[in-house]
Chain A
Amino acid sequence: NAGVTQTPKFRVLKTGQSMTLLCAQDMNHEYMYWYRQDPGMGLRLIHYSVGEGTTAKGEVPDGYNVSRLKKQNFLLGLESAAPSQTSVYFCASRAGAAGELFFGEGSRLTVL
């Protein structure tokens, strides 16, 4: 029972490089989210999606892009990585209005 799977789990980038984080869920959830977690700041919403083909900005969207071409996948892209994007990234999904969030295991990204 996979749930929410994030790849890769760890990545080190140099400033200016690009990369994509993949989130896949097998629960047929409509809503998907990307958060970043930084010490003392909790989880901050980067982007979210309310269904296949839709995306929207969260509270800290700058420097990130997302796509949801298939219902089960939500991709987070960094076009030109910056040291300020060093963080742990979490993907989450949920089914409906009152549903709990199901989280992936997180992806630790370091930008040098």
Chain B
Amino acid sequence: AQTVTQSQPEMSVQEAETVTLSCTYDTSESNYYLFWYKQPPSRQMILVIRQEAYKQQNATENRFSVNFQKAAKSFSLKISDSQLGDTAMYFCAFMAGTYKYIFGTGTRLKVLA
């Protein structure tokens, strides 16, 4: 069975600093996709970043980047120059096959002024 594990239920970071959120997954699939979603207090989930497993290069979106270690089945999210608006719950997600999305339990990030 495929699983996604986020071992940090809560984290905090000072504004302008860098923080890394951890995610590990377990699968026997060779081709899959990994995602980080953000859920701000407004509740609506939005995509932060996506990584295709067959791509070796780590994905980057502005201040957000990932460290994808396929052999270790690790997919961490790094947020640089943290801003107050980054305060949210962050979910790591895995997708393989045609339909199945599996989410981790989330990491609540608080950015401190």
Contacts and interface: CB of A to CB of B under 8 A. Distances in A.
Contacts of B99: 31, 48, 50, 56
A100 B44 contact: no
Contact of A101 (B4, B42, B98, B101): B101
Contact of A88 (B43, B52, B95): B43
A103 B45 contact: yes
Contacts, number: 49
Nearest to B104: A42
A98 B108 CA distance: 26
A97 B102 CA distance: 15
Interface string A92-112: 100001101101111000000
Contacts of B35: 100-101
Kindly state the interface size class of chain B when it binds its partner: 20 to 34
Contacts of B46: 103
Contact of A105 (B4, B44, B102): B44
Interface string B85-113: 00000010101001111111110000000
Give the dominant DSSP class at A's interface: strand
Given A33-B101, A45-B101, A40 B44 contact: no
B44 A103 contact: yes
Contact of A40 (B91, B95, B100, B105): B105
Interface of A: 31, 33, 35, 40-45, 48, 50, 56, 88, 90, 92, 97-98, 100-101, 103-106
27 contacts: A31-B99, A33-B101, A42-B103, A42-B105, A42-B106, A43-B103, A44-B103, A45-B100, A45-B102, A48-B99, A50-B98, A56-B99, A88-B43, A90-B45, A92-B45, A97-B98, A98-B95, A100-B47, A100-B50, A101-B101, A103-B45, A104-B44, A105-B42, A105-B43, A105-B44, A106-B43, A106-B44
